[in-house]
């Protein structure tokens, strides 16, 4: 395991800047997630670290050494692709053993046997080892794909939305499993996702990307509580942050254009009256869709009080976030 440093990394494809001047430090043993919508440059960053793309500018250092001139094999990284990309002509066992048999590792057969069995056990695919890779369900394929990375001890694990193709149950199981494995191995892991729950629950650090630029990098809590701009604020939180004109409740600092209110930033009982449009019972929480001066607001019902559509609820902000006209945070 090793620390990975990206310095001023840039890569463009034609006119598109896929990655734009990204500087990021992935500490040894950290679980870093990259968060952003499709096309934000998440996958390209992984591919630049893996050596599948050459950067236009900047440097990638693994364990303090620049690897830009190295081949993917020389970098000793493991990658789980978004598409399963199991070798279809090989069995599950051969797929798992494939990296161990490489000229890079040249593992003795007995050792291969042991490691494959161990990883298969962890990922609960032991009974499928002799199957052809193509004769598996989607979830099983993706577990084999993760297993093919886990049999190795690379300097960093790169994972490109590895859970996105799985159903909800398997996804949450594997999320816990991955986090546990990472913690046990003390592995450095860079994990790409657009699922904020994955980002929040597994990561020690979150990097938020927008059009190839790294907008903010920090702990999940920091990103959630202290977003640098409106874009970052909007990436995390469920229900999403409510964005309203800054002068709606008064008390806005000068230069503020919008006020950002997460559900917990809305105190109920006093303040401006809003109309309840819709009530959603989600079991563990009750969501209220409110209407105030022509703006929609989503919040959570406090204290499980019974509210009906058409009722009136008084609301006021509590520790809100303020943004200027460009979207940058000012308070």
Partner 1 sequence: MSSYSITEPSSRQKWVAGSLVIAYAIITLLPLVWILTTGFKSPTDAIAYPPKVVFEPSLEGYVNLFTTRTRVTQEQLEALPPPATWYEEIVRDRDMVIAGPSRYGERFLNSVIIGFGSTFLSVFLGTLAAYAFSRFKVPLKDDLLFFILSTRMMPPIAVAIPIFLMFRTLGLSDTHLGMILLYTAVNISLAVWLLKGFIDEIPREYEEAALIDGYTRFQAFYKVVLPQAATGIASTAIFCLIFSWNEYAFAVLLTSGTAQTAPPFIPTIIGVGGQDWPAVAAGATLFLVPVMVFTILLRKHLLRGITFGAVRK
Site for partner 1, rule CB under 8 A: 50-52, 71-73, 76-79, 81, 83-89, 98-99, 102-105, 133-134, 138, 141, 148, 165
Torsion of CA 69, 50, 33, 226, to 10 degrees: 20
Beta-sheet strands, E only, within 232-285? 242-245, 258-261, 266-281
| Cβ closest to partner 1, residue 41 vs residue 99 | 99
Report the sign of the C-alpha dihedral through residues 29, 80, 70, 108, in that order: positive
| Cβ closest to partner 1, residue 3 vs residue 70 | 70
- Least distance between partner 1 and beta carbon 160 (Å): 10
**Cβ contacts of residue 159 below 8 Å, gap of 6+?**
46, 79, 80, 146, 149, 189, 190, 191, 192
Do residues 226 and 203 make contact, with C-beta atoms less than 8 angstroms apart? no
| Cβ closest to partner 1, residue 64 vs residue 103 | 103
| Cβ closest to partner 1, residue 144 vs residue 256 | 144
Between CA 131 and CA 218 the distance in angstroms is 42
| Cβ closest to partner 1, residue 104 vs residue 197 | 104
| Cβ closest to partner 1, residue 109 vs residue 296 | 109
Kind and range of the H or E run holding 77: strand 77-80
Output the CA–CA distances (angstroms, integers) from residue 40 to 50, 59, 162, in the order listed.
18, 20, 17
- Least distance between partner 1 and beta carbon 170 (Å): 15
| Cβ closest to partner 1, residue 21 vs residue 195 | 195
Between CA 150 and CA 297 the distance in angstroms is 44
Residue 34's beta-bridge partner residues? 192, 207
Output the CA–CA distances (angstroms, integers) from residue 124 to 12, 127, 146, 173, 174, in the order listed.
40, 8, 12, 11, 11
- Least distance between partner 1 and beta carbon 328 (Å): 38
């Amino acid at each position: 395991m090793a620390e990975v440093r990206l310095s001023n990394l840039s890569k463009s494809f034609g006119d598109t800047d896929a990655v734009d001047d990204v500087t990021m430090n992935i500490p040894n043993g950290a679980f870093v997630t990259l968060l952003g919508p499709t096309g934000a440059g998440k996958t390209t960053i992984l591919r630049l670290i893996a050596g599948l793309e050459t950067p236009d500018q900047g440097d990638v250092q693994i364990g303090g050494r620049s690897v830009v001139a190295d081949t993917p094999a020389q970098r000793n990284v493991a990658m789980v692709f978004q598409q399963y990309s199991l070798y279809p002509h090989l069995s599950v066992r051969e797929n798992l053993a494939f990296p161990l048999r490489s000229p890079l590792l040249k593992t003795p057969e007995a050792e291969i046997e042991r490691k494959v069995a161990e990883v298969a056990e962890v990922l609960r695919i032991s009974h499928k080892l002799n199957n052809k890779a193509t004769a598996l369900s989607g979830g099983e394929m993706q577990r084999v794909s993760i297993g093919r990375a886990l049999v190795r001890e690379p300097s960093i694990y790169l994972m490109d939305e590895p859970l996105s193709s799985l159903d909800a149950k398997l996804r949450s199981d594997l999320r816990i499993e991955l986090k546990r494995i990472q913690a046990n191995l003390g592995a450095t892991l860079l994990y790409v996702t657009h699922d904020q729950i994955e980002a929040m629950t597994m990561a020690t650090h979150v990097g938020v990307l927008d059009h190839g630029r790294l907008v903010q990098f920090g702990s999940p809590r920091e990103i959630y509580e202290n977003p640098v701009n409106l874009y970052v604020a909007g990436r995390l939180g469920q229900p999403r942050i409510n964005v309203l004109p800054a002068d709606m409740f008064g008390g806005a600092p000068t230069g503020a254009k919008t006020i950002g209110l997460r559900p917990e930033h809305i105190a109920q009982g006093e303040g401006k009256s809003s109309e309840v449009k819709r009530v959603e019972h989600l079991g563990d929480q009750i969501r209220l869709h409110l209407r105030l001066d022509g703006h929609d607001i989503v919040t959570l019902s406090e204290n499980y009080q019974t509210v009906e559509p058409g009722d009136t609820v008084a609301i006021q902000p509590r520790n809100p976030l303020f943004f200027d006209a460009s979207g940058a945070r000012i308070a």
